[in-house]
Amino acid sequence: MKKEWFASWFDSPFYHILYKNRNDDEAQRFITNLVQFIDLPSGSKVMDLACGKGRHARMLHQEKLDVLGVDLSPNSISSAKEHETDHLSFDVHDMREVYPNNKFDAIFNLFTSFGYFDDESDNLKMLHSIHTMLNENGLLIIDFMNASKVIANLVEQEVKKVDNVSFSIQRSYDGKHIFKHISFQDIEENQQYIERVQAVLLSDFKRLLLKSNFKILRTFGDFDLNPFEEKNADRLIIIAQKTK
């Protein structure tokens, strides 16, 4: 059975090369702002859902939270496990499934880790699993791209050179998904991957969250938690609460 695109690409070492220059200071500021806003007590149990190598999970742990980071990529989790402590752990897990025998006060889904799937039913399956894993009145924090702005300002083609690897990137939008076609020369052969993320708008999130028994408490448009404006915001950040 062919792997889903994210299972292959996110487990490739070249994924981490291409995105190695992500801004840790910016991410740390974002996590600090978030934790202050949602005001979780020290020791609260939280999940970083689709945690990659655990960058945000480690920052959440620094905020005195008890953190479990999960991701579908075995290679990413293997790397993340090097940072485990008594209150920071990692495991391989599919975000569409319920992680067994655990309940969380908050679940973080950060850095556009939503909408990877072909079918909207998988989005709902993911949200229902999150609902099941949350304690009563638990919080879901989603950090997604502002799809409206991305589509309006789509850079159709560029080349990024990182660690002597030249990545040729082509972007397109088909009315439902934003595609990123990535090609580069490995030592042995030309490699090609596709990122495909649903262009989920705030109106779509409202509908999906309502259907999954969540209510939206607040929306923000950037990592400093300024208000969301659909035309101008860099991000779409949603704070939602579990309802019965």
Q: For 53-111, how does the pLDDT look when each residue is reduced to its tens digit (9 = 90+)?
A: 999 999 999 999 999 999 999 999 999 999 999 999 999 999 999 999 999 999 999 99
Identify the pLDDT of residue 2. 59
Q: For 100-153, how does the pLDDT look when each residue is reduced to its tens digit (9 = 90+)?
A: 999 999 999 999 999 998 788 999 999 999 999 999 999 999 999 999 999 999
Please count the CA atoms within 13 angstroms of the CA of 174 that sit on its side-chain side. Answer: 8
| Both structure tokens of 244 | 């019965």
Are the CB atoms for 169 and 180 separated by under 8 Å? yes
SS3 135: strand
Residue with tokens 């860099």, as numbered in its chain: 234
> What span, in angstroms and rounded, lies between the C-alpha atoms of 236 and 219?
7
b/e burial code for range 217-229 (CB count within 10 A of at least 16 → b): eebbbbbebeebe
Long-range contacts of 179-185 (CB under 8 A, 24+ apart): 182/9, 182/18, 184/14
Pairing of the two strands 134-145 and 104-109: parallel
Residue 126 identity: M
User: Thinking of the domain 5-145+201-242, which architecture would CATH place it in?
Assistant: 3-Layer(aba) Sandwich (3.40)
Residue 157 scores a pLDDT above 60: yes
Are the CB atoms for 154 and 164 separated by under 8 Å? no
List Cβ neighbours of 197 (8 Å cut-off, separation of 6 or more): 112, 115, 116, 145, 177, 178
- Residue 1: pLDDT band (50, 70, 90) is low
Query: What does pTM read for this prediction?
Result: 0.92
Total count of residues recorded for the chain = 244
Are the CB atoms for 22 and 217 separated by under 8 Å? no
Domain boundaries, the chain: 5-145+201-242, 150-195
| H-only helix segments in 70-193 | 74-80, 120-133, 147-152
Are the CB atoms for 7 and 96 separated by under 8 Å? no
> What span, in angstroms and rounded, lies between the C-alpha atoms of 121 and 48?
22
Residue 74 identity: P
